[in-house]
Structure 1
Amino acid sequence: MRDLPFQSAADQLSALASGEISSAELLEVYLSRIGAHNERLNAIVTLDVERARREAGNADAKRASGAELGPLHGLPITVKDSYETAGLRTVCGRPDLKDYVPDRDAEAVRRLRAAGAVIIGKTNMPAGNQDVQADNPVFGPTLNPWNTARTSGGSAGGGAVATAAGLTAFDFGSEIGGSTRIPSHFNGLYGHKATWRSIPLIGHVPGAPGVGRWGESDLACAGAQVREARDLVPLLLATVGPPERDGGFSYTLAPPRANKLGDFRVAVWTEDALCPIDHDVEAAVDDALTALETAGAKVRRQPADLPVSMATSHDVFLRLLFGAFTYDRSGLTAASNAALLARAAQRFRTEARYALRGTFQSHYSWLQADVARHEIRERWVEFFREFDVVLMPVTPTTAPPHHNKPIDRFGRRIQVNGRSRPYWDQVKWSAVANVAGSPATTVPVRTARDGLPVGLQVMGPSGGDLTTIKFAELLGQELEGYQPPPTFA
Structure 2
Amino acid sequence: MNDLTFASASELAQAIRDRRVSAVEVLDAYLAQIAKHNSNLNAICTLDEENARFQANRADEALFRGENWGALHGVPITIKDVLATAGLRTTAGSLSLTNYIPQQDATAVSRLKSAGAIVIGKTNVGDLAGGYQGLNDVFDRVNNPWNLDYTPGGTSSGGAAAISAGFAALDLCSDVGGSIRQPAHFCGIYGFKPTDRRVPTTGHIPEVPGAPKSLRQMLTVGSLARSIADLRLCLQITAGADPAQPDLPPMPIDRPTDRQLETLRIAWAEEWSIYPVASDLKSAMRSVATKLIDAGITVDRWVPDFDFAAAWRTYYQLIAYNLVHAQSLTLGDLRKNLAFLWRDGIQGDREFRKLGNIAGIGLPISLNPTLKGYFQTLTARDRFTTQMDGELDRWDVWLCPVAMTPAFAHCRRGAAIRVDNYNVPYSLASGAYVVPFNLTGHPSVVIPIGQTQSGLPIGMQIIGKRWQDIELLSIAQLIDNIVGDFRQPSGYK
Q: Same fold (TM over 0.5)?
A: yes
SS of aligned partner of 2:491: helix
Which letter maps to 1:36?
Answer: K
Distance 1:419 1:216, change over 3 A: closer
Q: What is the CA–CA distance in structure 1 between the aligned matches of 2:251 and 2:211, rounded to whole Å? A: 26
SS of aligned partner of 1:454: strand
Give the Å deviation of 1:216: 4.5
Which letter maps to 2:418?
Answer: Q
Q: What is the CA–CA distance in structure 1 between the aligned matches of 2:185 and 2:416, rounded to whole Å? A: 19
2:188 matched to which residue of 1?
188
TM-score, reference length from structure 1: 0.93
The correspondence for 1:351, drawn from 343, 354, 358, is 358
Conserved 8 A contact 2:270-2:286? no
Q: What is the CA–CA distance in structure 1 between the aligned matches of 2:254 and 2:345, rounded to whole Å? A: 47
Conserved 8 A contact 1:107-1:200? yes
Conserved 8 A contact 1:127-1:136? yes
2:459 matched to which residue of 1?
455
Conserved 8 A contact 2:344-2:426? no
Give the Å deviation of 1:87: 0.8
SS of aligned partner of 2:306: coil
1:387 matched to which residue of 2?
395
Q: Which runs of 5+ in 1 are unaligned?
A: none
SS of aligned partner of 1:142: coil
Corresponding position: 1:240 with 2:243? no
* Number of residue equivalences: 481
1:298 matched to which residue of 2?
298
Q: What is the CA–CA distance in structure 2 between the aligned matches of 1:341 and 1:235, rounded to whole Å? A: 35
2:446 matched to which residue of 1?
442
Corresponding position: 1:415 with 2:413? no
Moved more, 474-483 or 345-354: 345-354
SS of aligned partner of 1:56: helix
Distance 1:480 1:202, change over 3 A: closer
Conserved 8 A contact 1:16-1:74? yes
Q: What is the CA–CA distance in structure 2 between the aligned matches of 1:432 and 1:198, rounded to whole Å? A: 18
SS of aligned partner of 2:104: coil
Give the Å deviation of 1:2: 5.3
Q: What is the CA–CA distance in structure 2 between the aligned matches of 1:114 and 1:187, rounded to whole Å? A: 29
1:6 matched to which residue of 2?
6
- 1:336-347 to 2 correspondence within 5 Å? 336=336, 338-339=338-339, 342=342
2:371 matched to which residue of 1?
363
Corresponding position: 1:131 with 2:131? yes
Distance 1:401 1:62, change over 3 A: same
Q: Deviations over 1:269-314 (max 9, x none)?
A: 33323311011111111121012212333322124xx252211221
Distance 1:59 1:96, change over 3 A: same
2:32 matched to which residue of 1?
32
Q: What is the CA–CA distance in structure 1 between the aligned matches of 2:214 and 2:202, rounded to whole Å? A: 6
Q: What is the CA–CA distance in structure 2 between the aligned matches of 1:229 and 1:341, rounded to whole Å? A: 36
Q: What is the CA–CA distance in structure 2 between the aligned matches of 1:415 and 1:345, rounded to whole Å? A: 15
- 1:74-473 to 2 correspondence within 5 Å? 74-210=74-210, 212=212, 216-245=215-244, 246=246, 250-303=250-303, 306-326=304-324, 327-330=326-329, 333=332, 335-336=335-336, 338-339=338-339, 342=342, 349=354, 350-360=357-367, 361-403=369-411, 405-406=412-413, 409=414, 412-424=415-427, 425-473=429-477
Give the Å deviation of 1:472: 2.4
Distance 1:249 1:377, change over 3 A: closer
Moved more, 37-46 or 312-321: 312-321
Distance 1:27 1:387, change over 3 A: same
Q: What is the CA–CA distance in structure 2 between the aligned matches of 1:113 and 1:35, rounded to whole Å? A: 24
SS of aligned partner of 2:207: coil
Conserved 8 A contact 1:206-1:217? no
SS of aligned partner of 1:243: coil
Give the Å deviation of 1:335: 2.8
Give the Å deviation of 1:444: 0.1
Conserved 8 A contact 1:320-1:358? no
SS of aligned partner of 2:407: coil
Q: What is the CA–CA distance in structure 2 between the aligned matches of 1:392 and 1:241, rounded to whole Å? A: 28
Q: What is the CA–CA distance in structure 1 between the aligned matches of 2:248 and 2:292, rounded to whole Å? A: 42
Moved more, 70-79 or 151-160: 70-79
Moved more, 129-138 or 367-376: 367-376
Moved more, 371-380 or 153-162: 371-380
- 1:468-483 to 2 correspondence within 5 Å? 468-483=472-487
Moved more, 115-124 or 229-238: 229-238
Give the Å deviation of 1:266: 1.3
Give the Å deviation of 1:480: 4.5
Q: Deviations over 1:166-201 (max 9, x none)?
A: 010011100101100000000001100011111111
Q: What is the CA–CA distance in structure 1 between the aligned matches of 2:337 and 2:114, rounded to whole Å? A: 43
Which letter maps to 1:359?
Answer: S
Q: What is the CA–CA distance in structure 1 between the aligned matches of 2:6 and 2:471, rounded to whole Å? A: 25
Distance 1:357 1:181, change over 3 A: same
Q: What is the CA–CA distance in structure 2 between the aligned matches of 1:143 and 1:311, rounded to whole Å? A: 31
Distance 1:94 1:62, change over 3 A: same
Give the Å deviation of 1:319: 1.0
Give the Å deviation of 1:448: 0.8
SS of aligned partner of 1:37: helix
Q: CA RMSD in A?
A: 2.1
Q: What is the CA–CA distance in structure 1 between the aligned matches of 2:49 and 2:337, rounded to whole Å? A: 40
Give the Å deviation of 1:4: 1.8
Q: What is the CA–CA distance in structure 2 between the aligned matches of 1:207 and 1:439, rounded to whole Å? A: 23
SS of aligned partner of 1:83: coil
Q: What is the CA–CA distance in structure 2 between the aligned matches of 1:45 and 1:215, rounded to whole Å? A: 27
Distance 1:297 1:372, change over 3 A: farther
Q: Could you tell me the percent identity over the aligned residues?
A: 33
Moved more, 270-279 or 252-261: 252-261
Give the Å deviation of 1:422: 1.3
SS of aligned partner of 1:284: helix
Give the Å deviation of 1:255: 2.1
SS of aligned partner of 1:210: coil
Give the Å deviation of 1:446: 0.4
Give the Å deviation of 1:34: 0.6
